[in-house]
Amino acid sequence: MLPTKGYAAQNATSPIAPFSFERREPGDHDVLLTISHCGVCHTDIHMSRDEWGGSLYPMVPGHEIIGTVQKVGSAVTKFAPGDRVGVGCIVDSCRSCSSCGEGLESYCESGCTWTYNSKTRDGSALNFGGYSNQIVVEERFVLKVSDKIDPAAAAPLLCAGITTWSPLRHWKVGPGHKVGIVGLGGLGHMGIKFAHSFGAHVVCFTTSAGKTEDAKRLGADEVILSTNPEEMAKATGTFDFILDTVSANHDLNAYLALLKRDGTMCLVGVPSEAAAVHAFSLVGGRKRLVGSLVGGLPETQEMLDYCAEHGIASDVEVIPISKINEAYERMLKSDVKYRFVIDMATL
């Protein structure tokens, strides 16, 4: 076993604090990587505070992992020591269902295995995430990360990046489309960057008038203050696609009214409370309300390669691990542009 240092939540109310544990020795198909950076996702707060229920403790959060390969198993073919790599939200799946066969492991029909707050596939142990100095992951679930991307700015691509890339690609967003991005946070700022890069006309919805300039810097063509009834009313029936990235409770009906006939609104943010959607918000325009998880491994690699080729990365604030609890509180106040990333050298 490999002695490992990390930070963990011991229960739903405890702070994230130092925690020592053991990783498994790499098997024939495993990759051992030293973690250099780990992004801080809003999911880390939801999970560590048991806001969605079912949290498993002790919990080492973190699923936006960038590191360097330290050792590989004898059967590993894609990686070698010294390679820069990433690990996202998934570290295992059944590998035999139709979703896994199509490279959509996040939709594994028997349930994928999450990087943290989950048990190993055989149920014998807890999985611990990237708030740690090293991790062992099966080769299939490790991704190549180009040296063209700053490692800190690359980390959020493993969750915030792929979570917004996947639905924009699946619903074929591109030139000629008017696309709304609801929320300008960790997910929202990546949604704007991708939609702009794909050639769409991009509109950012925000509750903060002070974010207008930044939204346009990121690629938004327009900004609508969602708390302004007049601005919202003018946009009624004009959108082809809306990507809702907000994790706080809010009114979905207000945004459904903005879709054209046959328009689509996709949820990627997950509020803690169930939303109320009136049937009339959908039936009048044959509108679609859909959802999307993180993408599978092939599309995540595609996204990482695209970002390297087009110079796209996350806007980040790098912090030492000792500031993680402070970062959680700042995230809840939207006081970050736009993703905290932990420099794991500070562990």
pLDDT one-digit tens code per residue, 55-72: 999 999 999 999 999 999
Work out the average pLDDT over 158-176.
Answer: 98
Which two structure tokens, joined as six digits, stand for 225?
Answer: 């203050």
pLDDT band at 345 (very low <50, low <70, confident <90, very high): very high
pLDDT digits 0-9 by tens, 68-109: 999 999 999 999 999 999 999 999 999 999 999 999 999 999
pLDDT digits 0-9 by tens, 192-226: 999 999 999 999 999 988 899 999 999 999 999 99
Q: What is the pLDDT of residue 65?
A: 98
pLDDT of residue 259 exceeding 90, the answer is: yes
pLDDT of residue 248 exceeding 90, the answer is: no
3-state secondary structure of 332: helix
Q: What is the pLDDT of residue 252?
A: 96
Q: What is the pLDDT of residue 270?
A: 87
* Exposure string for 58-86, b = 16+ CB within 10 A, e = fewer: ebbbbbbbbbebebbbeebeebeeebbbb
Rounded Cα–Cα distance for residues 28 and 50 (Å): 35
Rounded Cα–Cα distance for residues 247 and 227 (Å): 17
Backbone angles phi, psi at 119, to 5 degrees: -100, 155
Rounded Cα–Cα distance for residues 304 and 57 (Å): 32
pLDDT of residue 155 exceeding 90, the answer is: yes
List the domains of the chain with CATH numbers.
Answer: 2-159+295-346 (3.90.180.10), 161-291 (3.40.50.720)
Q: What is the pLDDT of residue 30?
A: 98
pLDDT of residue 271 exceeding 90, the answer is: no
| Residues whose CB falls within 8 Å of the CB of residue 274, separated by 6 or more in sequence, listed in order | none
pLDDT digits 0-9 by tens, 282-326: 999 999 999 999 999 999 999 999 999 999 999 999 999 999 999
| Strand boundaries in the chain, DSSP class E | 2-8, 17-23, 30-40, 65-72, 84-87, 90-92, 113-114, 134-138, 143-144, 178-182, 201-206, 222-225, 239-244, 259-267, 288-291, 316-320, 339-343
pLDDT digits 0-9 by tens, 22-35: 999 999 999 999 99
